Amino acid sequence: MAERPQPLVTRPLPDAVNARIEEETCPPWLLRPGWVECAGAWETVSRVYTALTGAALPEAAPPRERRRLDIVLTYNDGSRQVLEVDERQHFTAARGTALALYPADAQVGFDRDAWRSRCQALAGREPGGGFAKPRPPLFPGEGGRHRQRAFRDTLADLLPPEHGWLPTIRLSDREAVAVASAADPAAALRDLLADCGVPASSLAGRPGR
């Protein structure tokens, strides 16, 4: 069985960035975000939810809503940044719908056009079974998990800048495999992170370290 993409990134990560690395964690404002936590992103977040479900987004999240991020980086100057490693199930028609509703000036650390193109290419071929099961109360019905994942990715993309964090970085499963296959995985990852917006001063072995 192929190794999951996330470890392919986390192994060389300490040699690619100067940062405190936390896995499977989440800031309080992203655990159960509602109207207050979404702040200036509320209008976009609401539009995305309605496009995915046909319903209006409640101003307060249900108590059972929880989530974890793949990686949170805290740099030496105190700034923080989310790093997500997107597996195949993150590239769905639902995710493409959400990305199309982002404002043109949304601050993100990945190529939105590339993400949308892959979502479009894989639309209709989303994995089934547990990947598509209902996720009530916000995402009932078949395919609920796909819609929930697309919505949660939206929150992880749009909320961090509202709370003073740097734009969220996303690496795809393909990029993770390329990093692991490189002669120098840390250098390959460092180059990717530089392109995604990690500050030069926080890249290990780069000028400005």
pLDDT in tens, 39-89: 999 999 999 999 999 999 999 988 877 789 999 999 999 999 999 999 999
13 DSSP assignment: G
Mean pLDDT of 171-198: 97
Residue type for position 62: P
pLDDT tens track for 88-130:
999 999 999 999 999 999 999 999 999 999 999 999 888 777 7
| Confidence class for position 1, pLDDT limits 50, 70, 90 | low
What is the pLDDT confidence band of residue 206, given thresholds at 50, 70 and 90? low
Q: Report the SS3 class of residue 75.
A: strand
Contacts of residue 115, Cβ cutoff 8 Å, sequence gap at least 6:
86, 91, 95, 99, 170, 172
Query: Does the pLDDT value for residue 132 go beyond 90?
Result: no
For residue 201, pLDDT beyond 90: yes
Distance of alpha carbon 136 from alpha carbon 142, whole angstroms: 10
**Cα 207 to the center of its chain, rounded Å:** 28
State the pLDDT at residue 63: 83
Whether the CB-CB separation of 119 and 92 falls below 8 Å is answered with yes
Per-residue confidence (pLDDT) for residue 99, from 0 to 100: 98
**Which residues are CB-neighbours of 147 under 8 A, at least 6 positions away?**
52, 53, 94, 135, 139
pTM confidence score:
0.94
- Read off φ and ψ for residue 27, nearest 5 degrees: -70, 155
Q: What is the mean pLDDT of residues 18-26?
A: 97
Closest Cα to residue 10, out of 31, 25, 28, 27?
25
